[in-house]
Structure 1
Amino acid sequence: MTGKIDIRGTTFRDAAQRHVILRGVNLGGDTKVPFAPDGRTHIPTDFAEHRDVSFVGRPAPLAEIDGHLARLRHWGFNCLRLLTTWEAVEHAGPGAYDEAYLDYLAEVCRRAGQHGLHTFVDFHQDAWSRMSGGDGAPGWTFEAAGLDFSKFAETGAAHLMQARYDPAVGGRQDSYPVMSWSGNYARPANGIMWSLFFAGADLAPGLKVEGRNVQTYLQDHYFGAMRAVAERVAHLDHVIGFDTLNEPSSGYIGAALSAPVVRYRGPIWSVLDGLALAAGSTRELPVVAPGQGVVGSERFNEAGTSIWLPGRTDPFRDAGVWDIVDGKPVALIENHFQRVGDREIEINRDYMAPFFRAAGDTIRAVRPDWLLFAEVDPFDLIKGHGFPTDAPDRTVNASHWYDISSLVTKRFAPDYLKHVLTGEERHSPSEIEDGYADEMSRIAAAASVLNGGRGSPTLLGECGIQYDMNGAEAYARWAAGERDPSIWHAQSTALTLMYNAIDRGLLSSTQWNYTVSNGNDPMIGDGWNQEDLSIWSVDQATDPDDPDSGGRGIEGFCRPYVRKAQGTIVSQRFDRESGVFEARVDVDPSIQAPTEIYVPKLQYPDGFGSDVTDGAKTEVGDQTFAVLTTAAGLLSIRVERR
């Protein structure tokens, strides 16, 4: 039976007050796009059908879902970050909820519990919406703001795989470089929408929609969609809470109007460039490459097309923030996005904290015991900006961690890593693992201000690796007939170092991701913008009777760990090469439930031996090892291969 989970200090606790490690996956990568018509991003579309789509079948048709959930449990996972999107719920128009989809999603949640998986719901987004290069918000949100998304691709206001990629050619294409989708955050479609969503009342007070400021209008509908889902799953005890919003962006908030916002690659945009392009100006922008600085320039919006709908205008220009003078854009209020009156804007204090409180109020009006899994702008987190101090009580740090270098380059070597942002070099697996652990520890430390300064558990809401790394070498070897696990050596090694670091920090995590429709085709991958991070692929699923069939790099993520501890976990460590797993638990003898360890047959094919502190009682189950003691103090556990 999968029961409730709560928090105590920096730990998750079950009903028996055992320290719980939540180790799970995101289900799934293609949930970002509609099931019908097929919305995977390699398929060209002008999004004309955006109100008439269906997400029923994402993450999997109900006839197939149990097999996938059983596989995840077999691999030792005990948690799901279950994806949905605002678009999936409210695509037909403001207030028009897709009842068939809500029924479907509730049934997926119910079945997850039957398979012993704690579940929290993630309202997912990347780059605001499918129409602006990502996923998340419905198309009508652009109409509410006054933007014409049909003009985004031609002007460069957004970078769209659906418009730039030719599926007849397939493969990698220069017109849509690998992992280029994130550059959309610097472009005007995203900059405008995020600024209005979080700070419209301050930054565009004159923009009203149905009598409400655009910020209030958009957030009211977002939280309405969240409540609609919450009401469908409120009766399920294994549903432990909701994410606030995946990887929210700051938009233009906090930026000077004329200052260029430099990222590690791609065109360099300023707020003024974005607003000018949106109004119909042609822009020529410098382009940077990792480690090379400026390598050229790129022209945008040669035709001088405005992305504002007929009869709609830029609310910032209307407010006198900028204008066109002698044919050139000019900043008139340079600090408009940095100050409100005499107050300097601080996005977490001024906008994220109220947003978190509204999210908490929304879900807890339906079920008061739910946890709130909170995220801030990941780019702000990288800069050292943490969480607001006045987030709601019982908030979890659900920030994300990736080896950003291997993520964006799709390359990994266990003996050398050069960080694409800092230039730092690491020269061995141990140095790479140490770097991972340090980065994760800083993410965990950001939560120290939560819950009245008591801190919170950290659950890495996303972490994972690209399976088509190193030129998709593993896929070529698979296509050539190789079936040995060694074809996934790079992926398994990267995952091993990642989970070693997670264990060192005693962190919970939900790996990105498990995608039912994943294929070994660089055109397809997870079905979204050529990402390919799924731990399972239909192309590897050759034996329906083998639960491991379809898995990729399984040795890297299917590993022993303490699921629940009779007290508080002090440490845990797994050496994949030797098969030795060691854990220490500070026992609370008042807890009358055992420490439970997942011990996978994959790592212990001939069984395992164990060594525990004297006096402890042990019990071996199906891929589990339980230890119960009546003595307070340190419990030591060692598991090794036979």
Structure 2
Amino acid sequence: MAKEYGFYVFMDPHQDVWSRFSGGSGAPLWTWYACGIDPRSFSTTQAAVVHNTYPDPATFPKMIWSTNYTRLACQTIFTLFWGGKEYAPKAIIDGQNISDYLQGHYIAACKHLAKRIHEAGDLEHDCIIGWETVNEPHRGLISVQDLTAYPAQQKLHKGTSPTPWQAMLTGSGRACEIDTYDFGSFGPYKTGRELVDPEGMTMWLSKDYDDTKYGWKRDPEWKLGECIWAQHGVWDASTDTLLKKDYFGKSPQTGEVLDYEGYTNLFFMQHYRKYKEAIRSVFKDCFMLLQPPVLEIPPTIKGTDDDDPLMIFATHYYDGLTLITKHWNRLYNVDVFGVMRGKYLAPAFALKVGETAIRNCLRDQLEAIRKEGLEKMGIHPCLFTEIGIPYDMDDKKAYKTGDYGSQILAMDANHYALEGSGASGFTLWTYVGTTPSISSRPSGTSAELRATPGYRAAEAFVRPSPLKTNGSVQKYGFDLKSCTFTLSLEAEKPTVEDQPTEIYLPEFHFPITRIKVEVSGGKWTISTDEECGAAVQRLRWWHGEGEQNIKIEGVKRKAGAYGEGSADSDDYGYLDQCRELASCSIM
């Protein structure tokens, strides 16, 4: 279907906090057992906070799932995945270190899928053009210098927030008083302390667990029922004494200190090379989308053998304040990326006041991310493979009222930032016209779907964009408020007849009878072409060489007013026409 409708697809081996059993998605259940971990104990030990095992699932705190990255289950399994040979040499299964075992199965699974796609014969390159590295890789404990303190880079705290040392203790059944946090308009703040008492239950598989269920053979030196880190001398389980608080902050073999970038440049890149080799052995010359850890400094590979001309810098960005609070704050926001890169003498200077400043701040952050990729990785396209907003803002108010004003403003701000950043593209995470559910759709129709069937806040994400340019794009953007698209480019030579600059003009904003165009020179036409079973409205522009500019104005309307007009009114437009087709879905 993707090929039929002209989509280009890249494969995303997706995970969040390792697996669904630790509050996210990704790896299968057996990976926990292979690592000597019992996921049934996560709730009691708080090694992970999971919705369906939460004491009262109806009150599960919003966005707390992402704190699982800094709880013991994920800290352990990610450390074993990336650095098991260095930090857990006793963890041998089927004659391999757990790191090789996990990575080997992961890469083999991806390669198998690549082979099946290749064997299909009509998808490779024509539709599926690239493969991304594992989604949002996390370092686990690698490069943490002090297990008794929060790592300096840990910016998210919500609910109980244990230090790595406290997490090891509660994961082994010991009671600990742990600081608690909430997330407010200015970030996380401490709310108190909570006694976490697992009453002797541990995160570790019992010593009598039957490994034959999965058919693997565990080395006798790897003892079940005991903390893997205690087995490697990090702490003494008989006295609950921490012995090596900097165990993960250096190489256990050489003693060389491992800085924060060391994880990416060493462990992540070692894995990337193996993954790339496996995929390219099947998908010859496909694009490889290298995704470093979120908002972290990319690997320093510019000018090296890893500086692959068919590599894309894949990165993610979310407006953290909006994402965590699930509210679009028009008064202020924070330059989070600037703070992380030491741009300000104090975090207070990173505060941006007013909606214009907020929008510009988002744009500047995305541009800084793109430029950092150029500096560290070399000249590669920058693709934001995740960016977006939470639709369930303000306790899902829009679902009841049909007023998506906040979502429109937030989504438009994100698109404004993308257009101004110079990025090569993005994939939106996530937009669907209906609310996804693991269960069957209820028999009734929700208020959300009755109010805006299939196109929530569409005016913000249905936007014009350049499709082909005869020259290099200097800047472009769409001003939703005035419904105006502008494009500036630099052309080395005049356009020829069969190679004009092409701009996609969605009828949503640009009904054919209501378009005004201004150009610096040349001629233009607008036509609607049938493409992959859909009607696509394009502006084609033949222009001269040098600096060229175009301005296109559409129908300016009040936010959220789409679909309220009639055929005889000035506001009659694309959605009105579509609504006349009762069985039509807006995509």
- Classify the TM-score, shorter chain: 0.7 to 0.9
- Kindly report which structure 2 residues correspond to 1:7-406, keeping only aligned pairs within 5 A, or say none: 111-164=1-54, 166=56, 170=58, 173=59, 176-234=60-118, 235=121, 236=123, 237-255=126-144, 256-261=146-151, 263-266=155-158, 267-290=160-183, 293-311=189-207, 312=224, 313-326=226-239, 329-340=240-251, 341-345=254-258, 346-378=262-294, 381=296, 385-389=297-301, 391=306, 393=308, 394-406=310-322
Distance in 1, matches of 2:249 and 2:140, equals 12
Corresponding residue SS for 1:399: strand
Distance in 2, matches of 1:564 and 1:538, equals 41
What amino acid is the match of 1:439? Q
Match of 1:48 in 2: none
Structure 1 pair 115/240, CA: closer, same or farther in 2 (3 Å)? Answer: same
Match of 1:615 in 2: 522
Match of 1:13 in 2: none
CA contact (8 A) 1:260 1:271 kept: yes
Match of 1:440 in 2: 366
Q: Deviations over 1:281-315 (max 9, x none)?
A: 22221123345743211222431212211221333
Mean Cα displacement is larger for which, 602-611 or 156-165? 602-611
Structure 1 pair 435/463, CA: closer, same or farther in 2 (3 Å)? Answer: same
Distance in 1, matches of 2:78 and 2:315, equals 19
CA contact (8 A) 2:312 2:380 kept: yes
CA contact (8 A) 1:151 1:307 kept: yes
Q: Aligned match of 1:472 in 396, 411, 434? A: 396
Structure 1 pair 515/573, CA: closer, same or farther in 2 (3 Å)? Answer: closer
- The Cα shift of 1:433 comes to 0.7
What amino acid is the match of 1:349? N
Corresponding residue SS for 1:373: strand
- The Cα shift of 1:628 comes to 4.8
Corresponding residue SS for 1:514: coil
- The Cα shift of 1:213 comes to 0.6
Structure 1 pair 517/555, CA: closer, same or farther in 2 (3 Å)? Answer: closer
Match of 1:624 in 2: 537
Structure 1 pair 214/273, CA: closer, same or farther in 2 (3 Å)? Answer: same
Corresponding residue SS for 2:2: helix
Question: Is it true that 1:571 corresponds to 2:475 in the alignment?
Answer: yes
Corresponding residue SS for 1:343: coil
What amino acid is the match of 2:48? A
Distance in 2, matches of 1:320 and 1:415, equals 51
CA contact (8 A) 2:521 2:543 kept: no
Mean Cα displacement is larger for which, 423-432 or 145-154? 423-432
- The Cα shift of 1:464 comes to 0.9
Match of 2:558 in 1: none
- The Cα shift of 1:542 comes to 5.1
Distance in 2, matches of 1:282 and 1:130, equals 26
Distance in 2, matches of 1:542 and 1:388, equals 51
Distance in 1, matches of 2:248 and 2:476, equals 46
CA contact (8 A) 1:594 1:626 kept: no
- The Cα shift of 1:231 comes to 1.8
Q: Deviations over 1:299-334 (max 9, x none)?
A: 2243121221122133321121211353xx322122
| Stretches of structure 1 lacking an aligned partner (at least 5 in a row) | 1-110, 479-486, 528-536
Distance in 2, matches of 1:628 and 1:604, equals 16
Structure 1 pair 229/514, CA: closer, same or farther in 2 (3 Å)? Answer: farther
Q: Aligned match of 1:595 in 501, 516, 525? A: 501
Distance in 2, matches of 1:576 and 1:550, equals 20
Structure 1 pair 314/516, CA: closer, same or farther in 2 (3 Å)? Answer: farther
Corresponding residue SS for 2:429: strand
Structure 1 pair 154/556, CA: closer, same or farther in 2 (3 Å)? Answer: same
Mean Cα displacement is larger for which, 611-620 or 390-399? 611-620
Distance in 1, matches of 2:542 and 2:514, equals 23
- Kindly report which structure 2 residues correspond to 1:445-460, keeping only aligned pairs within 5 A, or say none: 445-449=371-375, 453=378, 455-460=379-384
Match of 2:580 in 1: none
| TM-score normalized with structure 2 length | 0.78
CA contact (8 A) 2:507 2:537 kept: no
Corresponding residue SS for 1:462: strand
Structure 1 pair 409/367, CA: closer, same or farther in 2 (3 Å)? Answer: same
CA contact (8 A) 2:335 2:362 kept: no
Q: Deviations over 1:53-106 (max 9, x none)?
A: xxxxxxxxxxxxxxxxxxxxxxxxxxxxxxxxxxxxxxxxxxxxxxxxxxxxxx
* Superposition CA RMSD, Å: 2.5
CA contact (8 A) 1:133 1:161 kept: yes
Structure 1 pair 628/640, CA: closer, same or farther in 2 (3 Å)? Answer: closer
CA contact (8 A) 2:234 2:247 kept: yes
What amino acid is the match of 2:176? R
Fraction of identical pairs, as percent:
27
CA contact (8 A) 1:387 1:446 kept: no
What amino acid is the match of 2:164? V
Match of 2:551 in 1: 638
Structure 1 pair 412/628, CA: closer, same or farther in 2 (3 Å)? Answer: closer
Distance in 2, matches of 1:427 and 1:564, equals 37
CA contact (8 A) 1:500 1:574 kept: yes
Q: Higher Cα Rg: structure 1 or 2?
A: 2
Corresponding residue SS for 1:378: coil
Q: Deviations over 1:169-198 (max 9, x none)?
A: x5xx1xx21111111111100000000001
CA contact (8 A) 1:465 1:491 kept: yes
Mean Cα displacement is larger for which, 127-136 or 609-618? 609-618
Corresponding residue SS for 2:521: coil
Distance in 1, matches of 2:292 and 2:521, equals 46
CA contact (8 A) 2:487 2:550 kept: yes
Distance in 1, matches of 2:407 and 2:468, equals 28
CA contact (8 A) 2:400 2:448 kept: no
Distance in 1, matches of 2:171 and 2:287, equals 40
Match of 2:568 in 1: none
Distance in 1, matches of 2:111 and 2:165, equals 37
- The Cα shift of 1:395 comes to 2.0
| TM-score normalized with structure 1 length | 0.72
Match of 2:410 in 1: 494
What amino acid is the match of 1:599? L
Distance in 2, matches of 1:124 and 1:190, equals 15
- The Cα shift of 1:588 comes to 4.7
CA contact (8 A) 1:541 1:551 kept: no
- The Cα shift of 1:351 comes to 0.6
CA contact (8 A) 1:120 1:239 kept: yes
What amino acid is the match of 2:157? R
Mean Cα displacement is larger for which, 209-218 or 276-285? 276-285
Structure 1 pair 538/371, CA: closer, same or farther in 2 (3 Å)? Answer: farther
CA contact (8 A) 1:436 1:498 kept: yes
Q: Deviations over 1:351-405 (max 9, x none)?
A: 11112212211211111221111222215x2xxx222325451221211111110
Distance in 1, matches of 2:363 and 2:543, equals 34
CA contact (8 A) 1:387 1:449 kept: no
What amino acid is the match of 2:329? A
Distance in 2, matches of 1:210 and 1:325, equals 30
